Amino acid sequence: MLKGGSRDTGKLLMERSVPGRAGVVAPPLDVPEQPLPDASMLRDDLALPEVSEPEVVQYFTALSQQNFSIDTQFYPLGSCTMKYNPKINDEMAFLPGFAAIHPLQPPDQSQGALELLHTLQEYLGEITGMSGVSLATLAGAHGELAGVLMMRAYHHSRGDTGRIKMAIPDSAHGTNPASAAMAGFEVVTLASDEDGNVDLEALHELVGPDLAGVMITLPSTLGLFDRNIVEVCRIVHEAGGLVYGDGANMNALLGRAKLGDLGFDVIHLNLHKTFSTPHGGGGPGAGPVCCAPILEPYLAAPIVTASANGSGPTYALSNPEQSIGKMSGYHGNFGVLVRAYTYIRTLGDAGIKSISGNAVLNANYLLGALKDIYYLPYDRTCMHEVVLSADWQRARGVSGLDVAKRLLDYGFHAPTMYFPLIVHEALMIEPTESENRYTLDAFIEALRQINRESETDPDMVHHAPHTTPVSRLDEAGAARHPDLRWRPKT
């Protein structure tokens, strides 16, 4: 959609600036003016733009319209769970009694917030089958770091300081090895077998007195439920290790299986995936950590506790006795936690189970309709996402990247590409439960059409997208000569 004048986004804020324009009017000073500090401490070089309020609104509105989003496009980005984000969740988080309260105000002035957090801890514990929950971590990777630090603290508390290795499957998200390294572990790779499960032979070779544990994503990043999982947990436990669960794919398991029952010791959840809080273009998220009783003393501070008194429970923040410490400035991403609480209350037990059921049904529906034209490396029932490969199209000169870019021209966001690393030309598709059959059918038709184009006009597909504001940006140039901020022309 073309836009003229200042609604065109070509000019940056500093290029729109006109001396004397104001975006706000400040209130007058209502106290006597006070002496300023020494002039040498004051700045006179503040380079911020001068633009009026309508210009700010026009500019940012026009920018927003250059994005694909769940509200405007189907967004089947694998492992990201781009489901509908209910508007009521946002409205509740913006209530002044939640949005305008201070993290350090005394507990007797924040009982409503603490009660909500305490109840959410109980819900998440029930859903995951875990006894301990800390809501203090601010994203998935942040929860991972807390979780692996807890594993370290557990081993160290037993004088077991020789467990310096962490085993991570070759299909894992990059955050897993990065988090393990931040917690001081040496990362060793755990292979997958030909069905996409953890290779038990390889696991047997890795366990021992130097292995702290394993980090497992369930379902795996291949979109598969690991049929060996109970055995994996048993083998690791028998060798004195612990099992970490990456909850990125929990949308598949809600109400269907509890990770605690299966043998996991500590996991994190991504509330911005499974529990419908908006991604916001890359956060905020929330990554609560849930754990088995043996790890509870080490949970990140603070957690919310309840104590009974005459008129009902009183809630307070408290620090677990051997806590790994504070992971952030305050008590967690409260606004995100309010949204997740609202979501769970709106669904209840029946609703929670229908989330996973429909998410898995939608993914298998796509699998069934596409596997004749896109290679399916693991031909079995998938969970919430299906991993296809563009290997057949590659043979005609059209890569997975090309297919993904061409989908943009059809008005669909691209799937996750080239991940997991163990699948060639991977296209990882996660439809979620909130899409209807009509959209899925249209998406299937687009992928069929692109497959035909890969035969009739591969060059056109190779240069897609053709309808977006920009196409195939020069990423090498951006990295060779980084231009990371606007600077005045000299």
Partner 1 sequence: MSPEDRKYTREHEWAKVEDADAKLVSVGITHFAQDELGDIVYFDLPNAGDSVAYMQKMGEVESVKAVSDLFSPVTGRIDAVNSELVDHPELVNDDPFEAGWIMRVVLEDLGELDTLMSANEYDEYTGAS
Partner 2 sequence: MTTAHFQSHYIPNTEREQAEMLATLGLTSIDELFHDIPDEYRNPPLNLPEPLSELEIQRELAGLASKNRSLGSGPSFLGAGSYHHFIPAIVKALMTRGEFLTAYTPYQPEVSQGTLQVIYEFQTLISSLFGMEVANAGMYDGATSLAEGVLMACRVTNRERVAVSDTVSPTYLQVIRTYCQAHGIDIEVVRHWEPEVGDDTACLVVQYPNFYGGLEDLGDFAQLAHGHGALLVVSTDPTACGMLNPPGHYSADIVTGEGQPLGIPTSYGGPYLGLFTCKEQYIRQMPSRLVGRTVDSQGRTGYVLTLQTREQHIRRERATSNICTNEALYALASTIYLAAMGRQGLKQVAELCYHKAHYAASRIESLPGYNLPFQRGPFFQEFVVQCPAPPAEINRKLMERNILGGLDISVPPYSAPLPPDLDKGMLVCVTEMNSKEDIDALVAGLAEFN
Cα distances (Å, whole numbers) of residue 417 to 72, 155, 179, 377, 405: 21, 38, 23, 15, 10
CA distance 243 to 247: 12
Provide, rounded to whole angstroms, the least separation between the CB of residue 426 and partner 1.
14
Cβ–Cβ < 8 Å for 175, 144 = yes
x/- map, 56-75, partner 2, by CB under 8 A: xx-xxx-xxxxxxxxxxx-x
Cβ–Cβ < 8 Å for 400, 416 = no
Closer to partner 1 by CB, 20 or 482: give it.
482
Check residue 103 for interaction with partner 2 (CB under 8 A). yes
Residue in 216, 303, 327, 340 binding partner 2, rule: CB under 8 A: 327
* Interacting residues with partner 1 (CB under 8 A): 475-476, 479-481
Closer to partner 1 by CB, 395 or 479: give it.
479
Closer to partner 2 by CB, 395 or 397: give it.
397
Burial of 251 per CB tally in 10 Å (0-12, 13-18, 19+): buried
Please name every residue paired with 307 in a beta bridge, in sequence order, or none if there are none.
314
Q: What kind and span of H or E run contains 347?
A: helix 334-370
Alpha helices (H) along 371-427? 391-394, 400-409
Check residue 338 for interaction with partner 2 (CB under 8 A). yes
Provide, rounded to whole angstroms, the least separation between the CB of residue 478 and partner 1.
8
x/- map, 255-284, partner 2, by CB under 8 A: xxxx--xx-------x-x---x-xxxxxxx
Check residue 358 for interaction with partner 2 (CB under 8 A). yes
Provide, rounded to whole angstroms, the least separation between the CB of residue 24 and partner 1.
41
Burial of 49 per CB tally in 10 Å (0-12, 13-18, 19+): middle
Check residue 330 for interaction with partner 2 (CB under 8 A). yes
Provide, rounded to whole angstroms, the least separation between the CB of residue 294 and partner 2.
20
Beta 416-417 vs 426-429: how paired, if at all?
antiparallel
Residue 68's nearest CA partner among 343, 467, 479, 475 is 467
Check residue 79 for interaction with partner 2 (CB under 8 A). no
Closer to partner 1 by CB, 208 or 477: give it.
477
Residue in 350, 456, 489, 490 binding partner 2, rule: CB under 8 A: 350
Distance of CA 470 to the CA centre of its chain: 26
Check residue 49 for interaction with partner 2 (CB under 8 A). yes
The tokens of 45 are what?
Answer: 């070089």
Contacts with partner 2 by CB under 8 A: the residue count is 197
What does 339 bind: partner 1, partner 2, none (CB cut-off 5 to 8 Å by kind)? none
Check residue 131 for interaction with partner 2 (CB under 8 A). no
Provide, rounded to whole angstroms, the least separation between the CB of residue 335 and partner 1.
33
Give Cβ neighbours of residue 248 (< 8 Å, ≥ 6 apart). Answer: 79, 81, 140, 173, 217, 270, 273
Provide, rounded to whole angstroms, the least separation between the CB of residue 202 and partner 2.
18
- Rounded to the nearest 10°, the torsion over CA 98, 101, 104, 110 is -60
Provide, rounded to whole angstroms, the least separation between the CB of residue 415 and partner 1.
17
CA distance 451 to 81: 25
Provide, rounded to whole angstroms, the least separation between the CB of residue 329 and partner 2.
4
Q: What type of residue sits at position 65?
A: Q
The tokens of 71 are what?
Answer: 């509200």
CA distance 34 to 191: 68
Residue in 4, 5, 10, 159 binding partner 2, rule: CB under 8 A: 10
Provide, rounded to whole angstroms, the least separation between the CB of residue 480 and partner 1.
5
Tokens 């000073």 locate to 29
What does 107 bind: partner 1, partner 2, none (CB cut-off 5 to 8 Å by kind)? none
Closer to partner 1 by CB, 146 or 398: give it.
398
Give Cβ neighbours of residue 303 (< 8 Å, ≥ 6 apart). Answer: 121, 132, 133, 134, 135, 136, 317, 318, 319, 320
Provide, rounded to whole angstroms, the least separation between the CB of residue 431 and partner 1.
26
Check residue 24 for interaction with partner 2 (CB under 8 A). yes
Q: Which window, 144-152, 303-311, 387-395, 454-462, contacts partner 2 (CB under 8 A)?
A: 144-152
Check residue 200 for interaction with partner 2 (CB under 8 A). no
Provide, rounded to whole angstroms, the least separation between the CB of residue 377 and partner 2.
17
What does 459 bind: partner 1, partner 2, none (CB cut-off 5 to 8 Å by kind)? none
What does 178 bind: partner 1, partner 2, none (CB cut-off 5 to 8 Å by kind)? partner 2
What does 130 bind: partner 1, partner 2, none (CB cut-off 5 to 8 Å by kind)? none
Closer to partner 1 by CB, 201 or 475: give it.
475
Phi and psi based region of residue 380 (left: phi greater than 0; alpha: psi -120 to 50; beta: remaining): beta
Q: Is the peptide bond before 465 cis (omega within 30 degrees of 0)?
A: yes
x/- map, 361-380, partner 2, by CB under 8 A: xx-xx--xx----------x
Residue in 100, 161, 238, 311 binding partner 2, rule: CB under 8 A: 100
